């Protein structure tokens, strides 16, 4: 849940930053061409940052998934051993 909250916060900050940049450029005393070039450059920068954030989040997700699979396999093996011990100790046929 904490990671979801962090993702939402990060998304909000990025969107807010983009809106702020656009608003600042819209009110800047520059020509239309200069403003469009600035917007284009800022959009490319933002896209690169977002791609980096996405790649990082994807990698973290893969690592967490792999750790979860290892843990689930450990729990499965432990449960099988416990069930085997219970069957062996109670005289119940397997």
pLDDT recorded at residue 3: 67
Q: For 33, what's the count of Cα atoms within 13 Å in the CB-facing half-sphere?
A: 0
pLDDT recorded at residue 65: 96
In this prediction, residues 6-28 reach a mean pLDDT of 77
pLDDT for residue 14 is more than 60: yes
Q: In angstroms, how far is CA 27 from the centroid of its own chain?
A: 34
Which backbone phi and psi does 44 adopt, to 5 degrees?
-65, -40
Our count of domains for the chain comes to: 1
pLDDT recorded at residue 92: 52
Name the average pLDDT for the chain: 83
The residue range of the domain holding 52 is 2-90
């Amino acid at each position: 849940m904490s990671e979801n909250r962090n993702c939402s916060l990060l998304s909000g900050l990025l969107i807010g930053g983009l809106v702020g940049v656009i608003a600042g450029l819209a009110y800047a005393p520059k020509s239309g061409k200069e403003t469009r070039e600035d917007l284009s450059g800022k959009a490319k920068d933002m896209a690169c940052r977002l791609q980096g954030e996405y790649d990082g989040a994807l990698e973290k997700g893969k690592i967490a998934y792999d750790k979860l699979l290892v843990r689930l396999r450990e729990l499965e093996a432990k449960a099988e051993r416990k069930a085997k011990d219970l069957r062996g100790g109670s005289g119940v046929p397997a």
